[in-house]
Amino acid sequence: MSSLWFAIVAVMFVIYAVLDGFDLGVGIVYLLAGRTDAERRTLLGSIGPVWDGNEVWLIAGGGTLFFAFPAAYASGFSGFYLPLMMVLWLLILRGTAVEFRNHIVSPVWTPFWDVVFAGASGLLALFFGAALGNVLRGVPIDVDGNFFLPLWTNFRPGPNPGILDWFTITIGITSVAVLAMHGALWATVRSAGNLQERARGLASWSWLATAILSVTLLLVVPLVLPHFGRRYAARPWGLVFPTLAVVSLVSIKISSRATRDSTAFLCSCAYIVFMLAAAAFGHYPYLLPAIGDSQVSLTIFDASTSSSGLSIALSWFIPGTILVLAYFIFAYRRLLSRTDTAAN
Amino acid sequence: MDGLTVDRIHFAFTITFHYLFPQLTMGLSLLIVILKTIALRTGDPHYNEAARFWARIFGINFVVGVVTGIPMEFQFGTNWSAFSKATGGVIGQPLAMEGMFSFFLESTFLGALLFGERQLGPRLHWLSAFLVFLGSWISGFFIIATNAWMQHPVGYARNADGSFSLVSLWALLTNRWAVWEYLHNMTAAVVTGSTVMAAMGAFYLLTRQFENFGRTFVRLGVVLGLVASALMIFPTGDRQGYNVTLYQPVTLAAMEGLFEKERGAPLAIIGQPDVEARRLDNPIIVPNMLSFLTHRRWKAEVLGLLDFPQDQWPDNVALLYYSYHIMVGLGTIFVATFALAGLLMYLGRLYQTPLMLWALMLLAPFPYIATTAGWMTAELGRQPWLVYGLMRTAAGGSPRVSAGSGLFTLLGFTGLYAVLSVLFLFLIYLEVQRGPGATEHLSAGTVSTQAN
């Protein structure tokens, strides 16, 4: 039962990364791709009706983590106190920017929110990547299951780590590159003319950065994360995930070259899914590995709530998921495509 | 300030600010459904235009509600990790259900409500308004179910390590505390929505602009405001008070400023509790009333604070007492004002009575104050417990988060929310200036200009 809920939480965060990933990515490339007000409106319009729904996956995933693994939620959220609060501030600023920008047409109002939107999107991608890096690397957990990390120490993922070290920063930068590519590909699908050309160019550049950083990560991870090495050695079939990630990455390039933009975007979705699946597979059954004393590591078995509670949750989670799928089909079919045709 | 105080202010400040927005959107969503229903039934475009205007006001409130709502779920873990670790298996479920059953619904159909009128046609657009209403009211329910569990825990089992796990979701959702707290809270949200709508209408009538819409707003606001404010007192407020009497008798004593046990206890209308001297100064009382309200008998015995050990008293008796009295006093004023306005409307003289319109307009901020005071009553009344009778507030904090870190982020939120307040008021001001009936507008959010 704990393993099932580990999978559910992982899937929810993966969906979050894929969906909110493209609207964060649109934010990252926003100032570079959209030069005129009309182009920027097109970019915002391409995420307008769906970004809030995408972000709900973060809330829902967090809520699921909360009840399924309360000890991990409590330990992780209090331990990453400062960066999480900054994430909250960035989410507030970004949501405000998206929704308030078009209320007033003014040479001081619009550019201000443009910069806030782009800046907050880029920083969020960086923070989320660094957060993933921290969860994978582990933290110095005390005997009560708590920790508190400073923002940085000596920038080394050794015995006295900070939130930011070279490993977590690398994952953060990778996250920015990946989401920039993801968002640029989305923008390519959703636009035409000059805007589309610029988005295509940005997708191409960020693909290159993604490729270099991904290969680096695949080489570095076994060195920094010994539990990944053990896990993949014990279950070699798991290597299918990183392999498929590489295949997806190559497919993005092939599809882009052939200007099959929708296919390229879907390959980008697949790339994110398989990269994160590879991470989740390697990380299992850990939620938060402890640095130093591995006895106090939080695994899914000691952090989960009672199995009766987990069974109860399944009874509403399954119908809930079906409803959510129905809303998303409605939102992407009816709202997005219709507003799009109305715009053109 | 010690860490616990910082964490309490942190949560109190962020939740109080946050709840200024959902209380309006929950009430307004019902009013928008009513406007859309009239429009659909009569085919009168006037009501559709009125609904569009309020949907724009709704949209701005919704945005601020959403962005200030996200920190709430995070704060359980960041600032109250011991509490989260112990109770996450229970209260995490209704919170996650809120995400699954409400947030997805709301976020999807708010887009349809704001941008989809032309594409969806009148019936589907009505349905979008209804689903936004449904989503926001479901959201309220899960939050109340969570709070009700902390007030009156049910359906749980205690694990060996002292943590809680859920045994019956049904018991948690049908908690009798949750049912009355929910109805009381939602009628209060309708009072906020109705008052704001009536006040806006009165403002338009007094300033002689959009008078046609002004009359619609006043009429709908007054009718629904009267119904909701009456329901807020009876039965919902009455039953909520009865639950407090039954399950938190020490809280009741503190709310009423009653120190000594009394047979035929009086109801204090006004007075200042002097906790050190254990008495209520300068009281104006209604004899025997408290006994009647709580036990339905004039001579029933009501326990006073001194009947309970002092370590179980709410830790801020005076503030609790004032919060409760402000809530009740304002609730009474709402009923009186709406009843008078309703009477004038029945006599056909409401729109020609400037004094009444002034009163309606100036009423606008008071439901916010009453709701805030009501929630302060609930939360201060629960002290010194986080989970009533089972886990103390002092035991719930995050052991490794320092008071300094807490203060840092509290100041950050204060600054950010100050900026948000200014932006919010500015944008609302622009919408009010623009008024209903202005079809060419830029204001319905990101895609509106695309959709139009």
Q: Of the ranges A28-42, A131-145, B25-39, which one carries the lowest mean pLDDT score?
A: A131-145
A339 touches chain B (CB under 8 A): yes
Residues A280, A10: contact at Cβ < 8 Å? Answer: yes
B439 pLDDT tier (thresholds 50, 70, 90): low
Residue at B351 is within a domain = yes
Q: Domain for residue A61, yes or no?
A: yes
Give the nearest chain B residue to A147 (CA atoms). B400
Q: Tell me the per-residue pLDDT of B184-234, one tens digit each, with 9 for 90 and over.
A: 999 999 999 999 999 999 999 999 999 999 999 999 999 999 999 999 999
Q: Is residue B276 a part of any domain in this protein?
A: no
* Residue A56 forms contact with B (CB below 8 Å): yes
**pLDDT interval class at A337 (50, 70, 90):** low
DSSP helix, strand, coil percent of chain B (3-state; round to 5): 75, 5, 20
| Interface contact flag, B446 A64, Cβ < 8 Å | no
Q: Which residues pair with A288 in a beta bridge?
A: A298
Quick check: A75 contacting B, CB < 8 Å? Answer: yes
**Shortest distance, CA B206 to any CA of chain A (angstroms):** 27
CB count in 10 Å sphere of residue B41: 9
User: What's the whole-number mean pLDDT along residues B140-145?
Assistant: 96
Task: State the residue range of the domain holding A195.
Answer: 2-213+281-343
Amino acid at B321: Y
A74-92: average pLDDT: 94
Task: Give yes or no for residue A293 having a pLDDT over 80.
Answer: no
Q: Is residue A229 part of a domain?
A: no
CB contact (8 A) between residue A70 and residue B416:
no
Mean pLDDT of chain B: 93
Give me the mean pLDDT over the A178-205 stretch. 94
Which of A19, A37, A39, A52 should be substituted to probe chain B, the one whose Cβ sees the most B Cβ atoms within 10 Å? A52
Q: Amino acid identity, residue B232?
A: M
B403-433 pLDDT tens trace:
999 999 999 999 999 999 999 999 999 999 9
| Predicted confidence (pLDDT) at residue B124 exceeds the cutoff of 90 | yes
pTM above 0.95, yes or no: no
B244, part of any domain: yes
According to DSSP, the β-strands at A298-299 and A286-288 are antiparallel
Q: Are A144 and B399 a contacting pair at CB < 8 A?
A: yes
Residues in chain A closer than 8 A to B405 (CB atoms): 81-82
Kindly state whether residue B250 falls inside one of the protein's structural domains. Answer: yes
Question: pLDDT tens for residues B102-115?
Answer: 999 998 899 889 88
Residue of A89, A148, A339 lying closest to B400 (CB–CB):
A148
| A200 three-state secondary structure | helix
Residue in chain B lying closest to A39 (CA): B450
Q: Is residue B356 part of a domain?
A: yes
pLDDT band at B438; cut points 50, 70, 90: low
In a domain, residue A86? The reply is: yes
> Model confidence over A37-72: pLDDT tens digits?
999 999 998 998 888 889 999 999 999 999 999 999
CA distance B192 to B205: 20
CA atoms within 13 A on the CB side of B222: 26
Q: Which two tokens stand for residue A25?
A: 């990515």
**What does chain A come to in residues?**
344
Asked if the structure places residue A222 within a domain, the reply is: no
Domain that holds residue B183: 3-261+303-451
CB contact under 8 A, B97 and A60: no
Instruction: With respect to residue B283, please indicate whether it lies within any of the assigned structural domains.
Output: no
Answer yes or no: is A254 within a domain: no
CA distances from A344 to A191, A192, A200, B446, B452 (A): 9, 9, 19, 16, 11
Interchain pair B70, A315: CB under 8 A:
no
Asked, for residue A129, whether it belongs to a domain, the answer is yes
- Mean pLDDT, residues A212-227 taken together: 90
Question: What is the number of domains present in chain A?
Answer: 1
B20-65 pLDDT per residue, tens: 999 999 999 999 999 999 999 999 999 999 999 999 999 999 999 9
Q: How many domains does chain B have?
A: 1
In a domain, A65, yes or no: yes
| Weakest mean pLDDT among A59-63, A239-243, B34-38, B434-438 | B434-438
Query: Residue B451 pLDDT > 60, yes or no?
Result: no
Residue A97: burial class (beta carbons within 10 Å; 0-12, 13-18, 19+):
buried
